[in-house]
Structure 1
Amino acid sequence: MRRFGPTIFAEMSALAQRTGAVNLGQGFPDADGPASLLADAAEAIRTGRNQYPPGLGEPELLEAVAAHQRRFRGAELDPATQVLVTAGATEGVAAAVLALAEPGDEVVVLEPAYDSYAAVIALAGAVQRPVALLPAADGSGRFALDREGLRAAFSGRTRLVLLNTPHNPTGTVLTREELTEVARLAVEHDVVVLTDEVYEHLVFDGAAHVPPASLPGMAERTLSVSSAGKTFSVTGWKVGWVTGPAHLVAAVRTVKQFLTYVNGAPFQPAVARALGLGDGFYRELAADLQRRRDLLREGLLSAGFAVGVPQGTYFVVADPRPLGFEDGTAFCRALPELAGVVGVPVSAFCTPDGPAAEAARPLVRFTFCKSDAVLLEACERLQALRPR
């Protein structure tokens, strides 16, 4: 693990604190989730739900996750054997990789990629095989899967494919056609697909999140990971879940029990009730974030950035080259002094010299999961970058 130092998020957040810059680097909301959720958690604490929960998770949360998968995905899961509660999606991904990848096995990962993926692959002794998501040739700002690179990444040692859709940091929602190609190769090579879907409800402009497990031939080979953090704006609660075939979930549980054992006792029943909130909650969540996306994007465009239109997540990718900055990392380190704002370089999500590194090198990720006041302040500060 020597090559894994403090994360870029920690570095940029510390920079924001030290300089008083507006922190648009780390993707956490600055407002709490639904009042009913918070009240349910407080009630659980008051009524004594503070000791170890069952190893799989509290039964009401297992049942609520299964009901959520039925409601939004049409999937029928046995809550007793096909659902596992984890300490956030990060632990769910880590436990799955550690359970299924042996030393020397290969894990196909789409890059740019969330930074914990490379670390846990290294912990497993496995080998990361990066496949690029690259800016689409049509100028839409969408990042498209390099299908030729995907096919080339598979080998006789491929054990897992690790997907993230909707995708952090690019905001891309992988299309049915892209995911179908992943599915075809997974079936052909008989590998497990591990999907990080924490932004499943945060999609915009009519885009549709396609759960990989819903594709033909995939239900029996897909582990799906999600969490309460992004959907309910409680990232600090660290309540996530893994769903999939019983034998794969059992393998993940075997590892998870020696990582955190259990977690979040009073939060689990609260999340269970929140998952049953009406369709209006989910629609309003996405609509409000889309509005904030547009607010930040307009500010970035006005400041002189080239900016794509993310289809989902909390994030927008901006290109500062029109402002004369060629390196995203150097730009992010200078930005607090230049304009009093913090972002994160997209290159931090890529393997050095990997297939996505060059395209990512100038780019910067900003988050829009902040209040209007914070976003407006950031947009005003960014105007200092405009050419005079």
Structure 2
Amino acid sequence: MPQPSNRLQFFGESVIRRMTRVAQAHGAINLSQGFPDFDPPQALLQALERVTYEGPHQYAVTWGAPNFREALAKKQSHFMNIPIDPEKNIVVTCGSTEAMMVAMMTVCDPRDKVIVFSPFYENYVADTILTGADPIYVPLRPPEYHFDEAELRRAFAQKPKALILCNPANPSGKVFHREELEVIARLADEFDTYVITDEVYEHIVYEPHEHSYFAALPGMFERTLSCSSLSKTYAITGWRLGYVIAPPHLIDGARKIHDFLTVGAAAPLQEAAVTALGFPQEYYRQLLEGYREKRDTFLSYLDQTGLTYTAPQGAYYVMVDISPFGHADDETFCQWLAREIGVAAVPGSSFFREPVQQWIRFHFAKRKETLEEAGRRLLRLRECGR
């Protein structure tokens, strides 16, 4: 029999999803894969119930139902502070995972180079491989996860076709401040590079930090493909509703690729989600306040354990230093943690290009009682191997 595709040898299964299975096998609290254990907003559930009976139940327009795109354009125009045309600037995708793949395939050819900051969300490397592109890694150095401008310039000097920017960042919880974004923008303009942004945590940014949309920087809209989804903002990770926002000449290409990848996102879910896109400003204030409380609850337990971590500036992840425990590697530690302590995390090495073994990632998108139980279990670490 002929051999399968060579590209399969360059990446494995998702470590994050594998750790969810480990959590299930040991009955551990799953703080590895970042999805909530609480329901979406009641108004959204009521809209879904209505759509169940009223429809639509057939294909929507391939690149997104018109009323969904109109609602999305109105919301994002407000938050991004730039005009977004629902007919010219949006393609709706099956989650931000597809949005990122569509963006990559829209601007990159095989053997093109793509800048990826390390640590990175694990999908980005797979995206470059599936596209046939070659990643150029630029480190974000813990504990503050800053980049070195000279290193970034050297990466740009290799003439990359695109740079991937996750902001707020998974796994580090870093929020790129305005000055950092302006550095990236100057280099992108100088070297004529596209920027693909992953902004799914755009509404989860903790004071005093602020989220700046890269596409809204002067002159950047024309070279930016902004990817996001409704998953994290409305606690509907299973609905798989994402999107790409970009200038018309890029959206035209993105729609073609999206059409032949998945045809279209689920029509009834788009119809129901129009309700969420119309939520008032107060919803986003309460969303942030809720996540701030979750963050503070979980970090208070980490403080009691004496573990070292980088306080997240945004998103709902925290990177924790496990070097005091003396395990051979972070994978072994995470297996032990799920089995013996009853809490599942992700080995940090799955996010780094560098040979790093001292970090693991927890997420805190859980109910307070779930986080408190996880915290009580983690307190047992004070007695283990320190």
Q: Would you call these one fold, judging by a TM-score over 0.5?
A: yes
Equivalent residues in 2 for 1:1-388, closer than 5 Å: 1-135=8-142, 141-155=143-157, 157-325=159-327, 327-351=329-353, 357-358=354-355, 360-387=356-383
Asked if the contact 2:177/2:209 (under 8 Å) is kept, the reply is no
Identify which range, 1-10 or 103-112, moves more after superposition: 1-10
Unaligned runs of 5+ in 2: 1-7
In structure 2, the CA distance between the partners of 1:330 and 1:149, relative to structure 1 (3 Å rule), is farther
- 1:304/1:322 contact within 8 Å kept: no
**Cα offset, 1:337, TM superposition:** 2.7
Question: Could you tell me how far apart the structure 1 residues matched to 2:98 and 2:339 are?
Answer: 36
CA positional deviation for 1:350 = 2.1
- Cα distance in 2 for partners of 1:116, 1:370 equals 23
Q: Could you say what secondary structure the match of 1:131 adopts?
A: strand
Residues 336-367 of structure 1: CA distance to partner in whole angstroms, max 9, x if unpaired? Answer: 2331111001210123xxxxx24x42101101
Q: Distance in 2 between matches of 1:95 and 1:267?
A: 20
Between 1:34-43 and 1:177-186, the stretch displaced more is 34-43
What secondary structure, in the 3-state scheme, does the structure 2 residue paired with 1:283 have? helix
Q: Deviations over 1:49-108 (max 9, x none)?
A: 111000120111111111112211211011101111000111010011112111110001
Deviations for 1:164-191, whole angstroms, at most 9, x for unmatched residues?
Answer: 0000000000011111111001000111
Structure 1 residue identity aligned to 2:276: A
Cα offset for 1:263?
A: 1.4
Query: Do the aligned partners of 2:113 and 2:133 also contact (CA within 8 Å) in 1?
Result: yes
Q: Distance in 2 between matches of 1:39 and 1:281?
A: 16
Residues 14-44 of structure 1 show CA distances to partners (whole Å, capped at 9, x for unaligned) of: 1111111111101000012111111112212
Q: CA deviation at 1:2?
A: 2.2
Q: Match of 2:226, SS?
A: strand
CA contact (8 A) 2:307 2:322 kept: yes
Aligned residues: 377
Q: Following the alignment from structure 1 to structure 2, what is the Cα–Cα distance between the partners of residues 202 and 311?
A: 9
Are 1:220 and 1:245, in contact at CA under 8 Å, matched by a contact in 2? Answer: yes
2:328 and 2:215 map into 1 onto residues whose CA distance is 39
Deviates more, 1:104-113 or 1:42-51: 42-51
The amino acid of 1:345's aligned partner reads P
Q: CA RMSD in A?
A: 1.4
- Using the size of structure 2 for normalisation, the TM-score is 0.95
Rounded to whole Å, the distance in 1 between the matches of 2:182 and 2:328 is 35
Q: Distance in 2 between matches of 1:263 and 1:73?
A: 23
Displacement of 1:142 after TM fit? 2.9
8 Å contact from structure 1 (residues 305, 323) kept in 2:
no
| Distance change (3 Å), C-alpha of 1:62 and 1:157 | same
Q: Distance in 1 between the 2:350 and 2:311 partners?
A: 21
Determine what percentage of the aligned residue pairs are the same residue: 40
The 2-side partners of 1:11 and 1:55 are apart by 32
Contact 1:326/1:362 (8 A) holds in 2: no
Give the TM-score normalised by structure 1.
0.94
Code of the aligned partner of 1:367 = H
SS at match of 1:194: strand
